């Protein structure tokens, strides 16, 4: 049995080289997909507003429910908490727009609002604002 070791060695080298070549190609495909994902970011649509701001003057906020019904008026105090819903991931390290009573403009969308009924009257405890209200984010 004088068989050469060269054919067996060739088969062994091929068996080791093919999986690594496949992995290298797969890595390039994954990178290309990742680059395409960054080139065309998908931004989820914000939820529909539950109410819109009718007016905000003298610390009194009036909301009109989207589904109809009577308006809701209450006082925005220093204890009122604001939360601004943001969609997308944005680019860079730009500061977020302010999330406070300055965003309570006529027509602004409100996702939800909590109220407290006290002896002093109706007060808003928390307000969740939708992205259309918020100022533009610069990058």
99-135 per-position pLDDT tens digit = 999 999 999 999 999 999 999 999 999 999 997 644 4
Among 16-20, 68-72, 94-98, the range scoring the smallest mean pLDDT is: 16-20
Domain 51-133 has CATH 1.10.10: no
Please state, in angstroms and as integers, the Cα–Cα distance from residue 80 to each residue in 35, 61, 110, following that order: 42, 12, 14
- 85 vs 65, more confident: 65
Domain range annotation of the chain = 1-40, 51-133
36-58 per-position pLDDT tens digit = 555 555 666 778 999 999 999 99
Identify the pLDDT of residue 33.
53
Picking from 66, 96, 64, 93, the residue whose alpha carbon sits closest to that of residue 82 is 96
Mean pLDDT computed over 22-47: 58
């Amino acid at each position: 049995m004088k068989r050469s070791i060269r054919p067996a060695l060739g088969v062994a080298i091929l068996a080791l080289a093919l999986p690594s070549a496949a992995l290298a190609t797969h890595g390039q495909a994954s990178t290309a997909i990742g680059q395409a994902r960054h080139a065309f970011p998908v931004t989820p649509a914000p939820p529909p507003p539950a109410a819109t701001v009718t007016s905000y003057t003298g610390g009194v906020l009036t909301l009109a429910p989207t589904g109809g019904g009577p308006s809701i008026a209450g006082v925005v105090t220093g204890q009122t908490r604001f939360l601004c819903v943001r969609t997308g991931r944005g680019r860079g390290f730009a500061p977020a727009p302010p999330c406070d009573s300055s965003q309570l403009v006529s027509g602004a969308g409100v996702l939800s609002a909590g109220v407290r009924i006290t002896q002093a009257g109706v007060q808003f405890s928390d307000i969740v604002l939708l992205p259309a209200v918020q100022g533009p984010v610069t990058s």
